């Protein structure tokens, strides 16, 4: 007996629609490896319609006083709480994520982040007006940039959608967002939530639009003439393609790309505590996190003890079914990602040693065991490139100078952490580590008030915080003559 697949649809100008040409793609639950829904494979006609809706809605949304936009966002946050179980179910099916962890680790921060940006809507700060030339007064206007084309990733599809639409809407922009082709379900549900709020409060339907599709759909969005800004969270390759496409008409670009976070552990560290926290930060969400603690550098005097403890922690970490409350993470997101992680393990050099894991687990789905690999060198592929899986590598360093050299010796620069009881050393390391975030004696906590974003091939622009809000605004100088 065949179970009918659920039909997901685009959300354009307040209406749920199929792709104009009727094309669809199957959506697979990574915990089972089986399809559960179809989603539109949108083309140029769908993108045109979404952009036209967002463009038409922009003037009215832009001209609202900030307090009115705040009301909308606060009601959206309330509705997220009211419909939390629906969001949890959609995201769990989207990603195979443990239900309990989506409930505890994703819903509360998302609601908090929406409320933060609701407040930011009323904090359009600028430099003081004044006279900088005799007979003239200058003022600064901070304005929304316009229509924003946004592309969200598959690792945190629901939360990354929040990181994109919340600051954009708060600043007075309108949005067309594309979820990943493997994880559209929760974003379509978010469209239903936001659309209902806009309707209730009497605002234009085209303020928020969702277009499902693949890379080609994303390319059509970025290259479209309407958006003033393109924002993407994704791979380095995808970011480069977006930057190149956007350059054709000089769109503003906001990029949050890959990471290869160094975790620098000095010999004075509390090993048991560090291992516990690093294992959690490395394996959470199956290591599918740009900030994951996956590249550990350990001072040579404690290397063997640390590796043994980390391997034990890995062996005690569970992956499994979405309804098992004892698991830390679920499957890898898709078959291609599972193949990529396996490939890194299969290509390990002879000097590498698998201390734990290293294999697929389970009879169905895309589950991979918590893995620890030691004996690695700085130029090894698995050290230099993002695995995006539950794999932690370990290298041994001699001194602080070498730790800094190796930590910075990758093309990514998103996040890092330092583990030491020496305050002066921690401060020295936080200065020289070339990453957008440096955690000290912790790894991976985020708060709405602080920026998230990297350097080098990790992209540019900030998510979260007032800095993330600023990215969705433009600055205008207005000068007036005092002669009347």
CA distances from 467 to 70, 160, 278 (A): 18, 16, 28
- Which one of the listed residues 212, 290, 355, 437 is annotated catalytic? 290
Q: Domain check: are 409 and 330 in the same one?
A: yes
Q: Looking at the domain assignment, is residue 483 inside a domain?
A: no
**Residue 109: its pLDDT value, please?**
98
Per residue in 327-355, pLDDT (tens digit) is 999 999 999 999 999 999 999 999 999 99
Q: Domain check: are 32 and 138 in the same one?
A: yes
- Structurally, the chain folds into a number of domains equal to 2
CATH code at 145?
3.40.605.10
How far apart CA 393 and CA 373 sit, in angstroms, is 5
Q: Domain check: are 418 and 472 in the same one?
A: no
Helix axes 271-283, 303-316, angle to 10 degrees: 50
Q: Looking at the domain assignment, is residue 452 inside a domain?
A: no
Q: Looking at the domain assignment, is residue 1 inside a domain?
A: no
Known catalytic membership, residue 256: yes
DSSP 35-96: EEEEEE---HHHHHHHHHHHHHHHHHHHHS-HHHHHHHHHHHHHHHHHTHHHHHHHHHHHH-
Q: What are phi and psi of 404, to 5 degrees?
A: -65, -45
Q: Domain check: are 245 and 276 in the same one?
A: no
**Residue 125: its pLDDT value, please?**
77
Scan for tokens 């991976």, then name that residue.
444
What are the residues facing 478 on neighbouring strands?
139
DSSP 410: S
Q: Domain check: are 29 and 169 in the same one?
A: yes
Q: Looking at the domain assignment, is residue 463 inside a domain?
A: yes
**Residue 1: its pLDDT value, please?**
43
CA distances from 377 to 170, 236, 287, 408 (A): 46, 23, 21, 14
Q: Domain check: are 422 and 324 in the same one?
A: yes
Supply the range of the domain harboring residue 202: 6-257+458-477
Q: Looking at the domain assignment, is residue 50 inside a domain?
A: yes
Q: Domain check: are 103 and 43 in the same one?
A: yes
Q: Domain check: are 92 and 147 in the same one?
A: yes
Q: Domain check: are 390 and 315 in the same one?
A: yes
Q: Looking at the domain assignment, is residue 149 inside a domain?
A: yes
Q: Looking at the domain assignment, is residue 453 inside a domain?
A: no
- Which one of the listed residues 91, 106, 223, 256 is annotated catalytic? 256
Q: Domain check: are 463 and 435 in the same one?
A: no
The structure's pTM equals 0.96
**Best CA proximity match to 126, nearest among 465, 449, 474, 481:** 474
**Residue 69: its pLDDT value, please?**
98
How far apart CA 99 and CA 89 sit, in angstroms, is 7
Q: Domain check: are 292 and 376 in the same one?
A: yes
**Residue 127: its pLDDT value, please?**
79
Q: What are phi and psi of 47, to 5 degrees?
A: -65, -40
Q: Domain check: are 163 and 42 in the same one?
A: yes
Q: Looking at the domain assignment, is residue 120 inside a domain?
A: yes
Residues of the chain with pLDDT under 50: 1
Known catalytic membership, residue 316: no
382 within 8 A of 402, measured Cβ to Cβ: no
């Amino acid at each position: 007996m065949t179970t009918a697949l659920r039909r997901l649809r685009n959300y354009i100008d307040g209406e749920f629609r199929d792709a104009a040409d009727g094309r669809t793609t199957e959506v697979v639950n990574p915990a089972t490896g089986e399809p559960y829904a179809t989603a539109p494979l949108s083309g140029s006609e769908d993108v045109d319609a979404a952009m036209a809706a967002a463009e038409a809605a922009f003037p009215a949304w832009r001209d609202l006083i900030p307090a009115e936009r705040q009301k909308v966002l606060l009601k959206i946050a309330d509705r997220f709480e009211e419909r939390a179980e629906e969001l949890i179910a959609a995201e769990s099916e989207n990603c195979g994520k443990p239900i309990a962890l989506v409930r505890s680790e994703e819903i509360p921060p998302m609601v908090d982040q929406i409320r933060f940006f609701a407040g930011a809507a009323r904090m359009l700060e600028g430099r003081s007006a004044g006279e900088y030339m005799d007979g003239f007064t200058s003022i600064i206007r901070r304005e929304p940039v316009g229509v924003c084309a946004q592309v969200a990733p598959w690792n945190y599809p629901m939360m990354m959608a929040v990181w994109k639409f919340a600051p954009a809407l708060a600043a007075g922009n309108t949005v067309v967002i594309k979820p990943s082709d493997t994880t559209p379900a929760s974003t379509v549900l978010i469209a239903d939530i936001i659309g209902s709020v806009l309707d209730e409060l009497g605002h234009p339907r085209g303020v928020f639009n969702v277009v499902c599709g693949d890379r080609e759909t994303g390319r059509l969005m970025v290259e479209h003439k309407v958006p003033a800004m393109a924002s993407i969270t994704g791979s380095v390759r995808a970011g480069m393609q977006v930057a190149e496409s956007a350059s054709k008409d000089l769109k503003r670009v906001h990029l949050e790309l890959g990471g290869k976070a160094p975790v620098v552990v000095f010999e004075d560290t509390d090993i048991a505590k560090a291992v516990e926290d690093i294992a959690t930060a490395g394996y959470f969400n199956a290591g599918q996190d740009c900030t994951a603690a996956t590249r550990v550098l350990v001072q040579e005097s404690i290397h063997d003890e640390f590796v043994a403890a980390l391997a034990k922690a890995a062996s005690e970490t569970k992956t499994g079914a979405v309804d098992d409350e004892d698991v830390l993470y679920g499957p890898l997101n898709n078959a291609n990602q599972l193949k990529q992680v396996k490939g890194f393990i299969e290509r390990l050099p002879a000097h590498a040693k698998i201390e734990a894991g290293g294999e697929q687990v389970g009879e169905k789905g895309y589950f991979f065991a918590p893995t620890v690999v030691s004996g690695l060198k700085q130029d090894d592929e698995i050290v230099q490139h993002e695995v995006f899986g539950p794999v932690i590598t370990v290298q041994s360093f001699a001194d602080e100078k070498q730790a800094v050299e190796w930590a910075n010796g990758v093309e990514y620069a998103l996040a890092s952490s330092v583990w030491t009881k020496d305050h002066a050393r921690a401060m020295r390391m936080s200065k020289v580590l070339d990453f957008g975030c440096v955690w000290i004696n912790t790894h991976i906590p985020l708060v709405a008030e602080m920026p998230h974003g990297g350097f080098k091939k990790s992209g540019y622009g900030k998510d979260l915080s007032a800095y993330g809000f600023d990215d969705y605004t433009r600055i205008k100088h207005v000068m007036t003559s005092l002669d009347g």
